[in-house]
Chains A and B, each alone.
Chain A
Amino acid sequence: MIPGSYFFILSVILFILGVIAFFVKRDLITQFLSIEVMLNAGNLAFIAFARALNSLHGQVIVFFIITVAAAEAAVGLAIILLIFRQKKTIKSEDMNLMKG
């Protein structure tokens, strides 16, 4: 039996790595990927607590998070593809249309 705190610590590590990746990377796709990492870290924490509290509600929420992530990925990637078609770049610093 693995203590639940191990899972929680892993989820914290993953979340922080996701945050760091989001700031360090400069292309939209990888930044989007690091958002997925953060979402998954959240999922892990939910499931760890679901087991610890012996309740299924955490698992249901993870189920919803996964479905919403699928929808988010579809729309987000469509937007990235559209940006690439128009500007021929996916560097996040080139998205400066609203800079004035």
Chain B
Amino acid sequence: MAHFLFFLLAIVCVGAVVGMIFSRNQAYNALLLVLAFAALGGIFGLLSAPFIAVVQIIIYAGAIMVLFIFVIMMINLREGIPPEKKKWTIYLSAVLAFILIVELILAARGSFQALTGPGGEEIASPKALGKLLFTEYLYPFEITSILIIAALVGAIILVKKKEEE
């Protein structure tokens, strides 16, 4: 059952991203990514991280992608932008992707052993996560909140039209 769910979600996720590569319509791109991120949320749930799974759906699929769709609606291009015609970027991306695959396989070879660990029950509890977040990671947490306020103010200042115009 869990295997079936994993493969279903993985295929949805990869399929959506591949669809994004081939589609020219920005709105469809964004919607396909919503699908991919929701599927990733399901995969996080399978990995016994229900809190992160729900946060992924609330923030990524529910808030960030809504922002993207908002901007796409405002820009509202009539015709899509065709993919790159210049050949060299495609070759470059192929070479880069190949190098990355090799590098990641080399990096992961040693840790594949570690990936077979069991994973306990206490890892699923949001309570433990909250405790860790507010004790050991307190400073990063506070810094993140400042970062978010800075981003909020920055975004508002950037898009605001000037008064005198």
- Direct touching of A and B (C-beta under 8 Å): yes
Contact surface of A with B, Cβ cutoff 8 Å: 1-8, 10, 12-27, 29-30, 32-34, 36-37, 40, 43-44, 47-57, 59-60, 62-64, 66-75, 77-82, 84, 90-91
CB distance from B107 to the nearest CB of A (A): 10
Our pick among B59, B120, B123, B159 for the contact of A81 (Cβ within 8 Å) is B159
- In the complex the two chains form, is B147's CB within 8 Å of A4's CB? no
Residues on the A chain within 8 Å of B83, using CB:
24-26
Separation of A53 and B100 alpha carbons in the complex (Å): 24
Separation of A14 and B71 alpha carbons in the complex (Å): 25
Contacts A56-B129, A73-B68; A18 near B114 (Cβ below 8 A): no
Separation of A12 and B46 alpha carbons in the complex (Å): 18
Query: Could you list 29 A-B pairs, sorted by A, with CB under 8 Å?
Result: A2-B3, A2-B46, A3-B116, A10-B43, A12-B105, A14-B14, A19-B97, A20-B94, A21-B17, A23-B89, A23-B90, A24-B84, A26-B81, A29-B29, A29-B68, A30-B81, A37-B20, A44-B44, A52-B114, A54-B118, A56-B129, A59-B49, A62-B52, A63-B129, A64-B141, A67-B144, A78-B155, A81-B75, A84-B75
Q: Mark B103-115, 1 if CB is under 8 A from A, else 0.
A: 0110010011011
CB distance from B61 to the nearest CB of A (A): 11
CB distance from B34 to the nearest CB of A (A): 10
Q: Is B8 an interface residue (CB 8 A)?
A: no
CB distance from B26 to the nearest CB of A (A): 5
CB distance from B131 to the nearest CB of A (A): 9
Our pick among B13, B21, B59 for the contact of A10 (Cβ within 8 Å) is B13
Separation of A99 and B116 alpha carbons in the complex (Å): 50
Separation of A62 and B92 alpha carbons in the complex (Å): 30
B113-153 interface (Cβ within 8 A of A):
114-120, 123, 128-129, 132-133, 137, 140-141, 144, 147-148, 150-152
- In the complex the two chains form, is B43's CB within 8 Å of A44's CB? yes
B55-95 interface (Cβ within 8 A of A):
55-56, 59-60, 63-64, 67-68, 70-72, 74-75, 77, 81-84, 89-90, 92-94
Contacts A49-B115, A67-B144; A23 near B51 (Cβ below 8 A): no
Our pick among A25, A49, A66 for the contact of B21 (Cβ within 8 Å) is A25
Separation of A59 and B125 alpha carbons in the complex (Å): 11
